[in-house]
């Protein structure tokens, strides 16, 4: 595993090799396709792109080695088994780049759908969710995704876009 900077990720995405983007479909945030082929368990809202395939991240419908790069931005905290998904990404792609939230990243705490707490160093801990915790997450989501001046200000803070990028290899 190797930590990357955002510029490193952009250079990898700008290559002429086939890229698979996992987790680019539905959810509360708009779809941002980054690959030649995009997969997600949810269907994107609106018009479904021609390059979209509905699939579970832990069972990708591609032959081994099909892609030179697999990206998964803010996906692993939503899946039942991050390790199983990483193994599947490495099966279909020669390079894998994952993005995860930092602990102080606001959307991480405003997403009650997260199954895993993302720890520094690309580690995951089961996210204990209680009814109170889910209500607080939903309240925080409404607070930061709204159209109020406060919400717009919060989205401009560095805590809004606060990620770590990792390049993974088969020796995880």
pTM, two decimals, is 0.81
pLDDT at 86: 95
17-38, pLDDT tens digit by residue? 899 999 987 666 666 778 899 9
pLDDT at 27: 65
Collect the ranges in the chain with pLDDT lower than 70.
Answer: 26-31, 158-161, 171-172
DSSP letter (8 states) at residue 11: H
Q: Which residue, 110, 97, 84, is CA-closest to 168?
A: 97
What domains lie within the chain, and their CATH numbers? Answer: 2-102+115-127+162-168 (3.40.50.150)
């Amino acid at each position: 595993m190797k930590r990357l900077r955002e510029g490193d990720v952009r250079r990898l995405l700008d290559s002429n090799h086939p890229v698979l983007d996992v987790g680019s479909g539905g959810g509360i945030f708009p779809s941002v396709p980054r690959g030649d082929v995009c997969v997600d368990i949810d269907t994107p809202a609106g018009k479904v792109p021609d390059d979209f395939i509905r699939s579970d991240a832990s069972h990708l419908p591609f032959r081994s080695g099909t892609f030179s790069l697999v990206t998964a931005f803010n996906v692993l905290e939503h899946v039942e088994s991050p390790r199983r998904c990483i193994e599947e990404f490495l099966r279909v792609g020669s390079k894998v780049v994952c993005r995860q939230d930092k602990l102080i990243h606001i959307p991480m705490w405003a997403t009650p759908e997260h199954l895993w707490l993302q720890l520094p160093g690309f580690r995951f801990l089961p996210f204990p969710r209680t009814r109170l915790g889910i209500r607080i997450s939903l309240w925080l989501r409404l607070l930061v995704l709204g159209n109020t001046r406060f919400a717009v200000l919060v989205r401009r803070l560095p805590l809004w876009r606060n990620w770590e990028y990792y390049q993974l290899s088969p020796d995880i």
